[in-house]
A = this chain, B = another copy of it.
Amino acid sequence: MTCPKKDKDMEVKEIREHHTPSAGIFFTVDSVLYSKRSPYQKIEVFENESFGKILLLDDLVQTTEKDEFFYHEMLVHPGCVTHPSPKDILVIGGGDGGALKEILRYPVETVCHVEIDSQVIEVGKEHFPWLSTCLEDERVELIISDGLEFLKETGRTFDIIFVDSSEPVGPSAVLHRKEFYMSAKARLNADSAVVAQIGSPLYHLDFIKECSVTFKELFKFVRFYMGPVPSYPGGSWCYVFLSDSVDPLTLNRNPLSDLKYYNQEIHRAAFALPPFIKEYIQ
């Protein structure tokens, strides 16, 4: 038996992500495709037999080829189906391009993609081919910038703002603060919404509760929703839909028919919250 170990002097045999100090997920590594530090974070891409290419930022799984559809479909489609006709979209974060890929299925006019770390974009273009395809789409404008700085400086407004941040630590921490959501709200058109990933309903419930308080101060409709993501902590993830004018419990049109995880039943189902979450965040 070899001892699984990550050390620059040894071959990487296994990725381990702790979800709690005493439990987590492991992936065996077929090959290390990328492993460097950017000015913002450690960026790694590993090949795994079951999940395909796995992108990690600062040791946390961001996306895998096999199961990215769970996360990206649930981040994007509830918002796109709720807005009557989204034309101008902003994506903050999500350098792997998975959210872009889903957004571009719709007849949107512009997608402004703001990512702080150009190195994530370069890695994504090389290892997640859908990103290159998205960036070649003439509707997409890539802006390398801090998300909050962009929101404060831009004069543009948007129909949906997707916040596809990494964990609420490191360079994404600011995206979770009140100032950020106030700035996002200021850049919304009528009938518009902010949609964000908000963490694990099992392991980040304190954080979700804190966010809930902030969101309720800022928005009329604060709708948390959930869906599975097998490679994320606990296998379930929580998202939030924020708007002053549209409620995602009322669908404005039928979902696309060629998706893998999301459909109309799943849309309605995702907003059902279990008692242990409802009671905690109320």
Task: Say yes or no: B261 contacts A266, CB within 8 Å.
Answer: no
On chain B, the residues within 8 Å of A24 by CB distance are 25-26
A48 is contacted by which of B23, B272, B278 (Cβ under 8 Å)? B23
A1-50 contacts to B, CB under 8 A, are 1, 3-5, 16, 19-28, 30, 48-50
On chain B, the residues within 8 Å of A232 by CB distance are 235
Task: Say yes or no: B27 contacts A23, CB within 8 Å.
Answer: yes
Closest B residue to A48 by CB, please name it. B22
Give bound CA distance, A43 to B234, whole Å.
Answer: 24
Closest B residue to A4 by CB, please name it. B4
Give, as a whole number of angstroms, the nearest-CB distance from A105 to chain B: 14
Give, as a whole number of angstroms, the nearest-CB distance from A55 to chain B: 15
Give bound CA distance, A261 to B202, whole Å.
Answer: 11
Closest B residue to A21 by CB, please name it. B49
Task: Say yes or no: A268 contacts B262, CB within 8 Å.
Answer: no
On chain B, the residues within 8 Å of A230 by CB distance are 202, 234-236
Give, as a whole number of angstroms, the nearest-CB distance from A212 to chain B: 18
Give, as a whole number of angstroms, the nearest-CB distance from A56 to chain B: 14
On chain B, the residues within 8 Å of A270 by CB distance are 269
On chain B, the residues within 8 Å of A20 by CB distance are 49-50
Q: Is A168 an interface residue (CB 8 A)?
A: no
* A-B contact list, 30 entries, CB within 8 Å: A1-B5, A3-B3, A19-B50, A20-B49, A21-B50, A22-B27, A22-B48, A22-B49, A23-B25, A23-B26, A23-B48, A23-B50, A23-B51, A24-B25, A25-B26, A67-B202, A202-B230, A228-B228, A228-B235, A230-B234, A230-B235, A230-B236, A234-B235, A236-B236, A263-B275, A263-B278, A265-B272, A266-B274, A269-B269, A269-B272
